Amino acid sequence: MSALVIYLMSGPDTPELAEAAVEGGADLVELGFPFSDPLADGPVIRQAAEQALAQGMRTVACLECLAKTRERVDVPLVPMTYASLLEAYGYERFATDAEAAGATSLIVADLPADERPDLRRIQLVAPTSTDERLELAAEQTDGWLYLVTLTGTTGARDDLSPHFAGLISRARALTDVPLYAGFGISTPEHAQDAAALADGVVVGSRAVEVAEEGPAALRDYVRSLRTAIDAAVPAIID
């Protein structure tokens, strides 16, 4: 059964929202730390980041949010941030403080696998990644490998990326680490199709949109994803 990862932007309501997501069936919650120039993010998450920054959600406040979220849930919590924030805060200091606040790992969206190899984190690869880069990321990654299934930014799409199956196939040939797929997955149908191939499914932009409607709406949405994923039939890739 594939894992379900839900992304939420850090903010005053995030601990309650994370609890609702877990009640709906999320296996892991990814907590976005807002950044003023998030290159990997589309309009929904960019807007959420702007709102969070307007609410005063800087790195220290986000770490406090992480700690409050940890008090409510017992699933893995993974901050998602950018290298500039860690440069400003201090890489080692951030790693120490995040772990103390309850983080189980870390994602740095714009930090290549061959930079800061001492920083324990989940690595990302994309359809444009070479086999050499993919293999390096798999060797360096913490627990699972994040497959960015499309070229471009985060955001809901009408269909799964046409590059998805090929990226999964390449990754399976190079590594045995669990493969989690994200970017462009927004509907239960998307989640089910992705779960047929991947070990985990990451849902971000649509979860952030639904979270604006409150914890109950998010719980129901996550439950619909969970039901679809649990019904997925594993596919065989040639």
* Residues designated catalytic: 30, 41
For residues 90 and 77, give the distance between their C-alpha atoms in angstroms, rounded to a whole number: 20
For residues 84 and 220, give the distance between their C-alpha atoms in angstroms, rounded to a whole number: 35
Which of 132, 90, 95 has its CA nearest to residue 112?
A: 132
Q: Can you read off the two tokens belonging to residue 142?
A: 């913490």
CA atoms within 13 A on the CB side of 19: 12
Which of 74, 143, 150, 87 has its CA nearest to residue 115?
A: 87
Pairing of strands 3-9, 107-108: unpaired
For residues 74 and 209, give the distance between their C-alpha atoms in angstroms, rounded to a whole number: 24
Query: What are the two backbone dihedrals, phi and then psi, of residue 33, each rounded to the nearest 5 degrees?
Result: -100, 115
